[in-house]
Structure 1
């Protein structure tokens, strides 16, 4: 019997949030994806304590975002680009909400101040797909503002 593709795909949200120890560790491992590190090595290269790095790495392993060989944690080389894109997307979402004015109509063109996901450069929409994404972002911002107004 055929199985619907939706039943086979994992729709769980990305388990890493910005400004967390997991984000810090995953960012480090993705940036250095050609090497494996112990928790103490991660702690020595980041602002985390060894205990925090160890807990974060264990959670990332449980979430199947990193691999482990004994006490060495590393990124599967086949997933490095995917994980990098997810982290870039998180950074872009944070930047979008930090740059968005409380009143989206206060300053026309504010969205041009937000860096492109690809290179951190300002870009103009160049395709119908980009315009659609921009329209969706504006609708999302309008929805957030409506919710704030109701509160």
Structure 2
């Protein structure tokens, strides 16, 4: 993520825990987050649709307090069908925003296909679909800055 734009990444990962109302045609989204490190802080997991992407908005989310190292699984209920991005922030300092150092992430983060990103993502690069027929499963791998 050498060329990540500071404002774009901070906006995408900062306020991920807003909850929305359920829908008659809604399913569960099961998010498997791999590579979580036990660094303290909270893990913020959230969904954003195309209109909310890279903004301080979101419809569904969860906070995992002081996550243990390993894999964490989050189930978000009653998500309407459509395209979404999933964003995860390992918020070490408790400010619910991505901390940056020299324009680069200073806290752990994850998005769909995040390991392939080399710049701020577009919605199409990180989206997945919740089908009208039911539930969706998404796997994301945490990316952490090197500890120095």
**Fold match by TM threshold 0.5:** no
Which structure has more relative contact order (CA 8 Å, sep 6+)? It is: 2
Q: 1 or 2, which has the higher helix percentage? A: 1
- TM-score tier by shorter-chain length is under 0.3
Q: 1 or 2, which has the higher strand percentage? A: 2
TM superposition score normalised by structure 2: 0.24
Q: Which structure would you say has the larger Rg?
A: 1
